[in-house]
Amino acid sequence: MEFTESYKQTGPCCFSPNSRFIAVAVDYRLVIRDTLSFKVVQLFSCLDKISYIEWAVDSEYILCGLYKRPMIQAWSLTQPEWTCKIDEGPAGIAYARWSPDSRHILTTSDFQLRLTVWSLVNTACVHVQWPKHGELKICSVTHMAQTLVSVAGLMSWSNDSQYICTRNDSMPTILWIWDIRHLEIAAILVQKDPIRAVAWDPTCARLVLCTGSSHLYMWTPSGAYCVNIPQPQFTITDLKWNSDGSCLLLKDKESFCCAAVPVLPESSEYSSDE
C-alpha cells in the first residue's frame, strides 16, 4: 500500500461520490482537495465550526452542518460564488440529508417536530409537521441504520449483503463477521484495543478496521492481515473507502491521509453459490 503525506483536519472528511474530490473540515473552513494531486481546488468559509459534511449524489453540491448554531450551509463546486444558508430558527436542526436528485435538502428539527424539504431550484420549502412516521418513509435507510447500530453497538453490511460485521459495546475489542448466505460465523477478530471504526470495500469482500493505533487491519474470506502506517505519530481513529475501492481515507485526531489499496485477486472477490 502507498500512503500520502498527512493533511490537517478538525472534523469530518469524506470522498465525493465520483471519487474526484475529498471534502475536509478545518474549523470554520471547508477545504476541497483533488484526490490525485491533493491540491486545494476550492475553499469555503462557513459561519461556525463544521460538525457534519455530506456530498450530493452528483458530486456538484456539498452541505455543511453547523449544529452549534444550528444552521446548514451548502456550496457548489462548479459555481463557487453560489451559496445557500438554511436556518430553522428556534426549531433547530437535528440532522440534514440530500435528496436523490441532488437539488433538495431535507432537514429534521430537534425532537422530530418538523421535517422540511428545501429546494435549491426555486428556493421553496415544504414543512411536514410531526413527521415521526412520515420521515421513516423518506429517510428509511438512515433510520434503519440508526436502529440497528443502537442494538449491536457497531454494525455494517458488506456491499452485496453476504456478510455482516457486528461489535457489541460490552466487548469492544471483538468483531464478529457473519456469513448470511450460509447462516454461520465466518470469522471472529480479536483486537488488543477497542475497535473504533469498520468499513467494507464497496467492490469486494474486504473489510478494514481501526483501533486508534498506527495499524490498519484488513479481513477477507481468505485471511486477515495488518498494515503499519508510515506516518510518524499517526493513529487511525476513522476510515472511509472511495466509491471504486481503490483508495482509503484515514483520519487521525488532527490530520488525515489517503492510502492506495491494491486490487484483490479474483479468488477473493464476492462469489455466489447460485
Average model confidence (pLDDT) for the chain?
86
CA triplet 166, 170, 172: central angle to 5 degrees?
A: 55
| Mean pLDDT for the stretch of residues 134-143 | 44
Give the predicted TM-score (pTM) of the model. 0.79
Domain locations in the chain as residue ranges: 1-138, 151-274
* Residues pairing with 163 in the sheet: 179
Q: Which CA distances in Å does 87 have to 77, 108, 184, 273?
A: 22, 12, 48, 51
C-alpha cell at position 213: 493505533
Of 15-24, 30-39, 109-118, 154-163, which gets the smallest average pLDDT?
A: 109-118
How far, in Å, CA of 179 to CA of 197, rounded?
20
Q: List pLDDT tens digits, range 31-75.
A: 999 999 999 999 999 999 999 999 999 999 999 999 888 899 999
Three-class DSSP category at 250: strand
- What is the CATH architecture assignment of 151-274? 7 Propeller (2.130)
How far, in Å, CA of 9 to CA of 95, rounded?
21
* Residues pairing with 35 in the sheet: none
* Fold match, 1-138 / 151-274: yes
Helices (H), 3-139: 134-138
Q: List pLDDT tens digits, range 173-193.
A: 999 999 988 888 999 999 999
- Exposure string of 219-244, with b = 16+ CB inside 10 Å and e = fewer, is bbbeeeeebebebeebbbbbbbbbee
- What is the CATH architecture assignment of 1-138? 7 Propeller (2.130)
Q: Return all residues near 37 (Cβ < 8 A) that are at least 6 apart.
A: none
Q: Which residue has the cell 483508495?
A: 247
C-alpha cell at position 129: 409537521
How far, in Å, CA of 144 to CA of 106, rounded?
17
Q: How many CB atoms lie within 10 A of CB 271?
A: 13
User: Residue 37 has what pLDDT?
Assistant: 93
